[in-house]
């Protein structure tokens, strides 16, 4: 352990030590983000499962539907209507964003450009010289120092289409995926509800609690 500390403190250059610290911070941030996404997914599954109860509540308590199969398919149809009602907005956002990108490509003759590329939407971020930051470290050719900035964030008139397309497609896409997950969660809950509501079980049945039969003097064999 002491040898590792000596290597870190004496052998490694300052830039390499900074790079390791930044890499560890990025790793911790990545783990936090993944955990937050997992918690969000579980929350959506739970809340949308509750919403599935409301889709079939009235037809069950009023006795309109009395079979497992009919209840499930009734719930599926209502769930599909709810999905289309919720998903049309993010779908419209993605469609409009794609049309804007198409207009941009037509007017600027930019068919071969990647809207996510460094010369498009990537212009609003810092660009670093990672190749120039590489060097030999214990026989390995890796990044050994913090890279220099080769491009500062800026806006380019040649990338206006990507500035609209990328945020639109990201917002609309994530929104649409959340709606899809909610749809699947409701469908799964409907499947379990249809199995449980009309399922006859004797798990909690106690014969001692059953009402006693009246004696029949005309047919004592049934007593």
Q: Is residue 184 part of a domain?
A: yes
Instruction: Quote the CA–CA distance of 27 and 193 in Å, as a whole number.
Output: 41
Residue 21 lies in a domain: yes
| 217 domain residue, yes or no | no
* CA 70/CA 50 separation, integer angstroms: 20
User: Coil, strand or helix: which one is 154?
Assistant: coil
Beta strand residue intervals within the chain, DSSP E: 127-128, 134-137, 140-143, 149-151
Q: Which domain holds residue 161?
A: 2-200
Tokens of 45: 């599954």
Residue 219 lies in a domain: no
Residue that the structure tokens 């000596």 belong to: 6
Determine how β-strand 127-128 pairs with β-strand 149-151.
antiparallel
140, 16 Cβ separation under 8 angstroms? no
Q: Could you state, in chain order, the average pLDDT of each consecutive group of 10 residues for the chain (223 residues)?
A: 49 63 82 84 76 79 80 88 93 95 90 87 84 72 76 87 93 93 88 76 59 55 50
Number of domains in the chain: 1
Q: Is residue 66 part of a domain?
A: yes
Residue 191 located in a structural domain:
yes
Residue-level pLDDT at 7: 47
Q: 192 lies in a domain? A: yes
Query: 149 in a domain, yes or no?
Result: yes
pLDDT at 205: 57
Give the per-residue pLDDT at 38.
81
Question: Which of 74, 84, 85 is CA-nearest to residue 187?
Answer: 74
């Amino acid at each position: 352990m002491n040898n590792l500390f000596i290597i870190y403190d004496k052998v490694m250059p300052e830039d390499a030590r900074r790079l390791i610290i930044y890499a560890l911070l990025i790793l911790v941030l990545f783990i936090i983000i993944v955990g937050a996404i997992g918690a969000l997914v579980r929350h959506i599954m739970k809340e949308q499962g509750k919403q599935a109860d409301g889709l079939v509540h009235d037809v069950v308590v009023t006795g309109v539907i009395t079979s497992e199969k009919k209840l499930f398919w009734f719930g599926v149809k209502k769930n599909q209507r709810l999905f289309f009602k919720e998903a049309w907005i993010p779908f419209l956002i993605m469609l409009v964003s794609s049309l804007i990108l198409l207009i941009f490509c037509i007017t600027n003759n930019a068919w071969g450009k990647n809207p996510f590329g460094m010369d498009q939407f990537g212009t609003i971020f810092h660009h670093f010289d990672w190749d120039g930051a590489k060097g030999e470290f214990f026989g390995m050719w890796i990044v050994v120092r913090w890279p220099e900035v080769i491009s500062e964030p800026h806006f380019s008139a040649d990338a206006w289409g990507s500035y609209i397309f990328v945020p639109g497609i990201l917002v609309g896409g994530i929104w649409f995926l959340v709606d899809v997950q909610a749809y699947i969660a409701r469908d799964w809950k409907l499947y379990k509800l249809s199995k449980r509501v009309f399922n006859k079980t004797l798990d909690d049945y106690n014969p001692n609690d059953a009402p006693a039969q009246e004696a029949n003097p005309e047919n004592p064999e049934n007593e």
